[in-house]
Amino acid sequence: ILALAASAGAQVAPARPKITSVSHLSVYTSDPAKTETFYVHDLGAMKGIDPQNPAGVRFYFSPIQFVEVLPLPSPAPEHSRFDHAGYNTAEAEQMRLYLAAHHIDVPAKMTQGTDGSKYFEVKDPEGNRVQFVQPPVHPATVPLNPLSSHIIHVGYIVHNPTLEDSFYKDLLGFRPYWHGG
């Protein structure tokens, strides 16, 4: 009877909600004009406002996938122009609860963008900032990009693959796509 009482009181960790796609990559720039030429002229993205950061700009490749470009802070980061990566999920609040149940430091509540998106941010084991985004009900209208309309890969430098695998592979269910650099 004691064992039954103990198991009845145990909490079951929430199931991991699906991560449906890359949402975005956020980077810094020291030259907004050259950055705009690259993303709009060279890659065919659509420039838009940034509903999360008024100082930023988004370059959309699809209604829910983009590159966010932020002004280079002062002092500039020494080794990288990477700010954070973002991944889309249909249930951001469920993802927040799932990560919290697995001892990941999560914010107390969700943040909402001016476009209606919901998101929160955590840090991976090496301190990289990672956002989980529930796209808005009515995402931006983006013309079809003849070069590409689907971001399939976001990469950044990994110093300890075993440590990062514990987060990305074991906890989030990611699969290796490419190694190198």
Per-residue model confidence as pLDDT tens digits over 32-76? 999 999 999 999 999 999 998 999 999 999 999 999 999 998 888
CA 156 vs. chain centroid, Å, equals 13
Query: What does the mean pLDDT of the chain come to?
Result: 89
- Confidence tier at 10 by pLDDT (50, 70, 90): low
pLDDT value at residue 80: 85
pLDDT value at residue 181: 61
Query: What predicted TM-score, i.e. pTM, was given to this entire model?
Result: 0.88
Q: Report angle CA 161, 78, 106 to the nearest 5 degrees.
A: 55
Question: What is the C-alpha separation between 3 and 103, in angstroms, rounded?
Answer: 25
Over residues 124-140, mean pLDDT: 94
**Would you say residue 6 has pLDDT above 50?**
no
Question: What is the C-alpha separation between 45 and 37, in angstroms, rounded?
Answer: 10
Q: Do 104 and 148 contact (CB within 8 A), yes or no?
A: no
- Confidence tier at 11 by pLDDT (50, 70, 90): low
Over residues 168-179, mean pLDDT: 87
